[in-house]
Amino acid sequence: MCMAGIETAAFAAGCFWGVESAFMKINGVVETEVGYMGGHTENPNYEEVCTGRTGHAETVRIKYDAKKVSYDELLEAFWAMHDPTTPNRQGPDFGNQYRSVIFYYSGEQKEAAEKSLEKMNKEKFGGRIVTQVVEAGKFYKAEEYHQKYHSKHGGGFCGIRLPFIRGRE
């Protein structure tokens, strides 16, 4: 499905269940899926990623309508929903699969991510941000039972903080 104005972004900010739930609430996000990115193991499964030996981070890949929400606004939500100063940890979850990463798909996204990181480091986090800005590689979709987990099962947000920018109406 190719629609004008639909772009892709990917973020890792801890447990992908909560990250996906948070991004799904943003007006302009039209699709989300959770999976694994940033590692070296081909076709990893959840159990392998949980060992921390695959190098992958739990990641949410987002399709968004750039006419309704900007990439900069998605970055604002990313910073607001987690603690980017804790290496390999969010809330009760720890391990390199829970690290903070902005995966970029274009030079424009890379530039925006780096500028946003620098601004947040100066204005809010006192130079303590450990978030990585990494070119998006192959995305391995997680098992179906992980997709839209909180929508299917309810529950908390895995250490993800709310509020963030604009909710769905």
Question: Residue 15 catalytic?
Answer: yes
What span, in angstroms and rounded, lies between the C-alpha atoms of 44 and 109? 26
In the block, tokens 């720890």 appear at 94
Token readout for 82 is: 């987690």
Among 2, 15, 50, 158, which one carries the catalytic annotation? 15
Token readout for 43 is: 């076709």
Q: Which residues is 141 bridged to in the sheet?
A: 35
**Which of left, alpha, beta for 68 (phi over 0: left; psi -120 to 50: alpha)?**
alpha
**Which of left, alpha, beta for 5 (phi over 0: left; psi -120 to 50: alpha)?**
left
Q: How many CB atoms within 10 Å of residue 166? A: 15
What span, in angstroms and rounded, lies between the C-alpha atoms of 163 and 52? 30
The catalytic site residues sit at 15
